[in-house]
Amino acid sequence: MRRDRGRRDRPDVGSCGAAAYRREPVTVVDIATDPLWERYRHLALPLGLQACWSCPILGTQGETLGTFAFYFRTRRGPNEDEEQVVETCVDLCAIAIERHEAEREIHRLAYFDTLTGLGNRASFDIALEALEGTGGAGLLLIDVDRLKIVNDTLGHAAGDDLLREIGRRIGETAPDGAYRISGDEFAVVLRGANVAEAMPWVADRLLEAMQPQALCGGRPHRLAVTVGGAVLGEDGATVESLRQKADIALYHAKDAHRGGFARFTEGLGDAAARRLQAIRDVREALDEDRVEAYFQPIARLDTGDFIGLEALCRVFGRDGARMAEAPFQLAMTDGVAATLLTERMLTQVARAIRSWLDDGVNFQHVGVNVSAGDFHVGALEKRISGVFERYGVPLRHVILEVTELVYLGKKDNLVGEAVKALRARGLLVALDDFGTGYASLTHLVTFPVDIIKIDKSFVADLGEGGPGAAIVGGLIDIARKLGMKIVAEGVETAEQARLLEALGCRLGQGFFYARPGDFDLTTKRLRERGQPLPDAAPARLTAG
Contact 485, 364 (CB under 8 A): no
In the chain, the largest separation of any two C-alpha atoms, in whole Å, equals 119
DSSP characters over 258-271: TTSEEE--GGGHHH
* Residue-wise pLDDT tens digits, 386-397: 899 999 999 889
Contact 346, 368 (CB under 8 A): yes
Q: What are phi and psi of 31, to 5 degrees?
A: -60, -30
Q: How many CB atoms lie within 10 A of CB 452?
A: 25
Q: What is the pTM of this model?
A: 0.58
- Extract the runs of DSSP E, i.e. beta strands, from 358-435: 365-370, 398-403, 428-434
Per-residue pLDDT of the chain (544 residues; tens, 9 = 90+): 444 444 444 556 788 889 988 889 999 999 999 999 998 889 999 999 999 999 999 988 888 888 999 999 999 989 988 888 888 888 888 888 888 887 877 766 778 898 999 999 989 999 988 888 777 889 999 999 888 778 877 888 989 999 999 999 999 998 888 999 988 999 999 988 788 888 999 999 999 999 999 888 888 888 989 999 999 888 767 888 888 889 888 988 887 778 899 898 877 766 677 787 888 899 999 999 999 999 999 999 999 999 999 999 999 999 999 999 888 888 887 778 888 899 999 999 999 999 999 999 999 999 999 877 777 666 777 888 889 999 999 988 999 998 766 655 544 566 777 777 888 888 888 888 776 654 456 666 667 788 989 888 888 888 666 677 888 888 888 888 888 899 999 999 999 999 999 999 999 999 999 999 999 999 999 999 998 876 544 445 555 3
Alpha-carbon span 287 to 289, nearest angstrom: 6
Alpha-carbon span 296 to 310, nearest angstrom: 5
Do the strands 485-489 and 507-509 form a parallel or antiparallel pair, or are they unpaired? parallel
Q: How far is CA 174 from CA 120, 190, 206, 214, 425, in A?
A: 15, 9, 8, 19, 50
DSSP state of 96: H
| CB neighbour class for 98 (10 Å; exposed up to 12, middle 13-18, buried from 19) | middle
Distance from first CA to last CA of the chain, Å, rounded?
A: 89
